[in-house]
Structure 1
Amino acid sequence: MKELINNILSEIETDVAVVDLNGYDIIEASLSMVLRLQDVLTDLRNQLQTYVFSSKEEEIYFFKNQKPELLGRLLYFYKIYRIETQCPTGSNEVIRLYINKELDGLTYFFNRNLDFYQYYRSHSTIHDEHYFLRGKTDIRLCTDSAQFDKDPNFSTGYDYKVAKILANEMLRIYLNKKLQKLENESYIEKQQYSINSKTPVRFTGKKAALIELGYALVSSGDINHGNIEIKEFMNFLSSMFNIDLGGYYDAYVAMKERKDQTAYLNLLAEKLSKRMKEDDNKR
């Protein structure tokens, strides 16, 4: 079972990696992930009908770690789908208030489940048999339920709580990034009013290319004698070229992982060298 779940998680991670959380098709993408994960959990539930855990430890591990990883992603994408479909139209301030309200809801959840959250995050095991073995749930205690997870043979009650914790942690990151994007957009709009140019200069290449250039310039130490933060310089580039560079850190991480880490800088060197040669040939 452990190997099976690991293979499934690996496949899911591959699918998640291609989802653009800042893209215009986030509603369709998140719904697609919900349907995909529902199918995965349904198949897993069916397999568990005939599977016998070899020990209590294996069963605890499944309901404490493996299943919540999958269910947590389902809850995460389902919540993104609901947030995006219910997001009000209007000014950035209206959207900001909406996002902050969602963040307040996450804070309320963590405060309401603080004891269990601390138990889980401290890697405590003393109550694992009560929390993560089937048939041990005390109905006098308040446990969550979910429309995705009602089968007592496939749930202990607390595995859903773990999944909710994982989902809400990811969701908090997602919402904070949306707030940052709104701040960047507001900054760009303000800067555009102060930029007086008859012929606006725009960067028409890929956003990742400008981010690569930005990181290179900051790393060189040649901007403000090295006394500038990457966030400040990315905001400057955003306003100068009228482009939203939100998510620049994610782009930087992707840059480090690719085979040619400085692909755009290398291309610039090639283009400049070619131009110099062409100029020399004209003489």
Structure 2
Amino acid sequence: MKSLNSIVSEIRLMEDKVSRETSGLIDEAYQMTLYLKELLHTAREYILREGFKDQTEEIEFFRDIKPQILGKLIYYNKVFRIETVCPVKDGKMYQKFFTSQLQVLKQEFKEQICGSHFYRYYRSGRTDRDQEYFMRGKINYRDGLKSYVFEIDHRFSTYYDSKAARIMANDLIYTYLISKINPEESRTSLLGDAESTKDIFWTDSKNALIELIYALYASGVISHGKIGIRKITLVFQVIFRIPLGDIHHSFHRMKERAGTRTAFLDHLRNSLEQYMDKGL
């Protein structure tokens, strides 16, 4: 069975590939939905055929690996459904539509996720009840679970792995809807008071920033590698108030550079070493 890092890396590479090759968000969400559905099916076939070597492997799969796949699948399917029924591309009706979608999401979060014992357990990073939550055949029906528990495939679900996936998907969908409703609100939430951060801006080339973004993305050092290149790029665009355009095209031009392909990262390393030497 593949490790969590391997699965996350595989999904990131596919997100990057699909984002480059598709014409818009609808097609991108559709292609990722198909890919993740097949990946989940492949994982299921493997588990039913091979099983787990021990409890640790089973817990890791249902706590981390399956929710990573299923959470992204729920997210992309939701984006596809929203985008395909969006009435217009701009204006008051557009704003009203996405605002209503956000209200639905908040209501679902309040009714289905927030306040549960499992939500607090999962968010706090606890592991003391992992054997109960993330091993098959451990469901406690005295907890008054949703009737969905009777519909799941108990050979490939612990019930709570789906809960974890929903929490992950909810975070992704929330960010997507906020960026649709009001990009300026995203900037405010990240930067706080605009007046106090107006002197923060990027002074090197756009290609240099794109090189840095891809390095952080490829290394998986942001949010354990669980967010895509689009979201990381959005954060940097917001922080430095700089539009980066088609970053994928720029990145592929970097790959074809003569000489070093990591000119900016090399510059950062040299600058840091020189700075360190000053203190000797």
Q: TM-score, normalised by structure 2?
A: 0.61
Higher-Rg member (1/2): 1
Alignment-mate amino acid for residue 142 of structure 1: L
- Would the aligned equivalents of 2:71 and 2:169 in 1 still touch at CA under 8 Å? yes
CA distance in 2, matches of 1:162, 1:250: 33
> In 2 relative to 1, CA 232–160 (structure 1 residues): closer, same or farther, beyond 3 Å?
closer
Q: Which residue of 1 aligns with 2:55?
A: 56
Q: CA deviation at 1:134?
A: 0.8
- Would the aligned equivalents of 2:152 and 2:159 in 1 still touch at CA under 8 Å? no
- Would the aligned equivalents of 2:18 and 2:31 in 1 still touch at CA under 8 Å? no
Q: Identity of counterpart residues, as a percentage?
A: 33
Q: CA deviation at 1:30?
A: 0.9
Runs of 5+ consecutive residues of structure 1 not aligned to the other structure: 185-210, 216-229, 236-244, 263-283
CA distance in 1, matches of 2:8, 2:58: 18
Q: Which residue of 1 aligns with 2:24?
A: 25
> In 2 relative to 1, CA 84–182 (structure 1 residues): closer, same or farther, beyond 3 Å?
farther
Q: Which residue of 1 aligns with 2:92?
A: 93
- Would the aligned equivalents of 1:92 and 1:182 in 2 still touch at CA under 8 Å? no
Deviates more, 1:126-135 or 1:69-78: 126-135
SS at match of 1:49: helix
Q: Which residue of 1 aligns with 2:206?
A: 212
> In 2 relative to 1, CA 249–65 (structure 1 residues): closer, same or farther, beyond 3 Å?
farther
Q: CA deviation at 1:183?
A: 8.6
> In 2 relative to 1, CA 20–176 (structure 1 residues): closer, same or farther, beyond 3 Å?
farther
Q: 1:132 aligns with which of 113, 131, 134?
A: 134
- Would the aligned equivalents of 2:40 and 2:69 in 1 still touch at CA under 8 Å? yes
SS at match of 1:154: coil
CA distance in 2, matches of 1:250, 1:125: 41
Q: Which residue of 1 aligns with 2:145?
A: 142
- Would the aligned equivalents of 1:34 and 1:77 in 2 still touch at CA under 8 Å? yes
Q: CA deviation at 1:49?
A: 1.0
> In 2 relative to 1, CA 111–126 (structure 1 residues): closer, same or farther, beyond 3 Å?
farther
Q: Which residue of 2 aligns with 1:119?
A: 121
Q: CA deviation at 1:151?
A: 2.0
- Would the aligned equivalents of 2:178 and 2:185 in 1 still touch at CA under 8 Å? no
Q: Residue by residue, what CA displacement relative to the aligned partner does 1:33-92 show, whole Å, maximum 9, x if unpaired?
A: 111111111111111112232322221111011110011111111001001011122752
Deviates more, 1:168-177 or 1:132-141: 132-141
SS at match of 1:152: coil
Alignment-mate amino acid for residue 38 of structure 1: K
> In 2 relative to 1, CA 97–151 (structure 1 residues): closer, same or farther, beyond 3 Å?
same
> In 2 relative to 1, CA 51–233 (structure 1 residues): closer, same or farther, beyond 3 Å?
closer
> In 2 relative to 1, CA 32–157 (structure 1 residues): closer, same or farther, beyond 3 Å?
same
CA distance in 1, matches of 2:153, 2:106: 29
Q: Which residue of 1 aligns with 2:221?
A: none
Q: TM-score, normalised by structure 1?
A: 0.60
CA distance in 2, matches of 1:41, 1:122: 27
CA distance in 2, matches of 1:72, 1:95: 26
Q: Which residue of 1 aligns with 2:219?
A: none
CA distance in 2, matches of 1:14, 1:160: 24
CA distance in 1, matches of 2:103, 2:168: 17
- Would the aligned equivalents of 2:134 and 2:160 in 1 still touch at CA under 8 Å? yes
CA distance in 1, matches of 2:147, 2:47: 21
SS at match of 1:64: helix
Q: CA deviation at 1:231?
A: 6.1
Alignment-mate amino acid for residue 46 of structure 1: E
> In 2 relative to 1, CA 142–100 (structure 1 residues): closer, same or farther, beyond 3 Å?
farther
- Would the aligned equivalents of 1:144 and 1:160 in 2 still touch at CA under 8 Å? no
What is the root-mean-square deviation of aligned Cα atoms in Å? 3.6
